[in-house]
């Protein structure tokens, strides 16, 4: 198992990025590596970080502006070779169909519920790390 997992967090809102960090803690679940965050507030920063490699999971804010996380998700799924799994933060449960359209691997509602979020993130990390092993 690798010593750390890298989670990219995209939101134009610093409070949302902090909620993600706090909900994750040092690791989202027992048996997973500790988490290191790459925080991005703009689409160009997301694309640069993904092109550099090393990202295990992306957490994208569906309510971010001017580039919403749903559109960003769809774009990176099309453009990034072996795109990491994406956990999308959606504004309301009724937006789940949009998360599916964007090709997100999982979605949770915003504001971040720490238990729901950690479970979803842990599931994506387990899948990603099993693929790479």
CATH number of domain containing 108: 3.40.50.2300
Signed CA dihedral, 35, 128, 23, 20: sign only:
positive
Owner of token pair 């502006």: 65
Alpha-carbon span 33 to 26, nearest angstrom: 9
Q: Where is 90: in which H helix or E strand?
A: strand 86-90
Residues with Cβ within 8 Å of 89's Cβ and at least 6 positions away in sequence, in order, are: 11, 16, 20, 59, 60, 61, 62, 63, 69, 107, 108, 109, 110, 112
Domains in the chain: how many in total?
1
pTM of the model: 0.94
The residue segments making up the domain with residue 128 are: 4-132
One digit per residue, pLDDT tens: the chain, 133 residues?
Answer: 458 999 999 999 999 999 999 999 999 999 999 999 999 999 999 999 999 999 999 999 999 999 999 999 999 999 999 999 999 999 998 988 999 999 999 999 999 999 999 999 999 999 998 855 4
């Amino acid at each position: 198992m690798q010593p750390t997992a890298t989670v990219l967090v995209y939101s134009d809102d610093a409070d949302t990025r902090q909620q993600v960090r706090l909900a994750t803690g040092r690791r989202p679940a027992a048996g997973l590596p500790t988490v290191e965050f790459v925080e991005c507030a703009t689409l160009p920063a997301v694309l640069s970080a993904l092109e550099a490699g090393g990202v295990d999971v992306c957490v994208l804010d569906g309510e971010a502006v001017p580039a919403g996380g749903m559109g960003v998700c769809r774009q990176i799924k099309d453009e990034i070779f072996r795109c990491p799994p994406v956990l999308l933060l959606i504004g309301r449960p009724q937006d789940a169909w949009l998360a599916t359209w964007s090709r997100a691997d999982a979605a949770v509602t915003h504001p971040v519920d720490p238990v729901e979020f950690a479970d979803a993130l842990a599931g994506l990390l387990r899948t990603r790390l099993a693929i790479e092993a």
